[in-house]
Structure 1
Amino acid sequence: MPRPASLADRLFWPILAGGAASLWFGPKALAVAGLVVLALVVHRLGRGGRFRRRVRAIARRHRETLALRRRQESYVDPYGNEILDGWLRERSYFAERTVLPRLEAEGYGDLIEVRWDEILAIVEAASLSVAAPDEAEDLPEDGIAYERYCAALLERAGWEARTTKAAGDQGADVVAERDGVRLVVQCKRYAKPVGNGAVQEVVAARSYWNADCAAVVSNAGFTPAARKLAAATDVWLLHHDALPDLRARPAGRSR
C-alpha cells in the first residue's frame, strides 16, 4: 500500500509554485499561494476529527446489536465481578471486520494502528449508548425451568418444541421441529461461560435424535475451546435472546 502523503509532501509544490509565480506576478500570486497552503493545513489538521466522526458513525449504525452482544458476552461471576472477556473479543472482532475495512477504503488506513485504542473506546461507548433490556427478573434460576424457558422462546419462532425427560435425553434438553427440520438443544443456565463438554454432548444428541442441527444455548457465553469445537462440528452457540427469531441458520454464528 502506498504511503499516504504527509503534510510536508502536500505543501511542497504549492509553496514552490507560489514562490515561482510571485517572481513573475508579484505579491498577489504569493497571497494566492498562501491561501492554498493555509487551506491544506486546516484540512490536514482537521483529519483527526473527521476520523473520529467516521468511526462514531459506523459504530452508531450498529449500536443496538453492539448493546445486545455486550450483554450476551458478559456475565457476573459468583463473587459479583463483571466478566467481560467474551465482550472484549466481540468488540475487537467488530472493529477489525466492520470498522477497519471502511476506514481503509476512505483513506484513513495510516491512522488505524496509532488510534486503535480510540477506535475501541468509541465502539465501547456505542455499545453503552443503548439500554439493553434487563433479563434478570424474567430469567429462571433453575436449570429445568430454563429448559422450559428456551422451549417457549423457540415456539415464538414457530418451532414445535418440547423438553426431554432428564433421564435418557442423550444430551438433548429440548427437541424442536419446524418445516421438516429437527433441532436438538442443550440449555445451560450458568454463572460462567459454557465449556466444550456441552458441545460434545449435543453432537452426540444430534446423532441419537437423528436431528438436522444442534445448538447449545446459554445466558453466559462460551469458552474459546467451546467455540473452536462448535465451529469444527457445526454446532450453533447461541444466547437465548436469539431463539425468538431463530429460523434456519442463526445470523450471528459463533466464531
Structure 2
Amino acid sequence: MLLGLLLLVFVIGAAVVARRRKHFAHVEDSGWPPNESGVAPAIPAGATARPEPVPTPQEFRRLCAAELDRAGWTTQMGFTGGGVGPDIVGKRAGTMLLVRCRQSRSAITGEMVDEAAAMGARQEGAVTALVSDAPFSGRARAEALRQRVHLLRDTELAEFGR
C-alpha cells in the first residue's frame, strides 16, 4: 500500500511539472541576460534619457489605423468584444484585412500569433496581420509562417500592400 501511495504522489508530481512546462512553453526571452558584456551602455554627455510617452492601447490602434489609411486601405476600428475580434478591419480592392494590434515591452510570442490566426479564421478575412511595436520571437515567426499571419512592426504599416 505504501508503494502504491508513493507511486500516486510521483504521478501527480510529474503531471504538475508537465502542466507548468506546457503553460510556460510560450515564454521566450532572447534578451536574457540583458547585457552579457558587463559594460553599461554609454549615454553621450549632455544627452538626457527622456522616455517617450507610451500611447494607450486605444491610441496605438488609432495610430495603426491611420498608417493603414496612408497605405490606401479603408479602415474601421473593430469592436473586439472581449478580445476575440479584430482591432482594425481594412478593405481595399475587395480584400478584407483583419489586424490585431499588440503593444508589448517584450518580444511577441508564438501564442500571440496563434490568437491572431484564430481571430482571422473566425472572421474569415482574406489577410490576417499582427502589428506590434515590439520585436517578434523566433517562435512567433515560425508560427506566423505556418498559419499565414503577417507580422508587421507599426512602422511598416504605411508601406503594407503597396
State the TM-score, normalized to the length of structure 2: 0.64
Residues 204-215 of structure 1 aligned to structure 2 (within 5 Å) = 204-215=118-129
Determine which structure has the larger strand proportion and give its number. 2
Deviation at 1:199, TM superposition (A): 1.0
1:241 to 152, 155, 161: 155
Cα deviation code 1:139-180 (max 9, x no counterpart): 752112111110111000110112212425524111111111
1:140 and 1:212 mapped to 2: Cα distance? 31
SS at match of 2:72: coil
1:199 to 98, 113, 116: 113
Cα deviation code 1:209-251 (max 9, x no counterpart): 2200111111111111111100111111111111111116xxx
Task: Verify the 8 A CA contact 2:79 2:85 in the aligned structure 1.
Answer: no
Match of 2:136 in 1: 222
Match of 1:40 in 2: none
1:146 to 53, 56, 60: 60
Task: Verify the 8 A CA contact 2:127 2:149 in the aligned structure 1.
Answer: yes
Determine which structure has the larger helix proportion and give its number. 1
Q: How many residues align?
A: 115
2:124 and 2:132 mapped to 1: Cα distance? 23
Give % identity: 30
2:98 and 2:155 mapped to 1: Cα distance? 17
1:140 and 1:159 mapped to 2: Cα distance? 25
Query: Which consecutive unaligned segments of at least 5 residues does structure 1 have?
Result: 1-76, 83-135, 249-255
Match of 1:162 in 2: 76
State the TM-score, normalized to the length of structure 1: 0.42
SS at match of 1:149: helix
2:142 and 2:110 mapped to 1: Cα distance? 8
1:210 and 1:233 mapped to 2: Cα distance? 14
SS at match of 1:154: helix
Is the radius of gyration larger for structure 1 or structure 2?
Answer: 1
Residue identity opposite 2:87 in structure 1: D
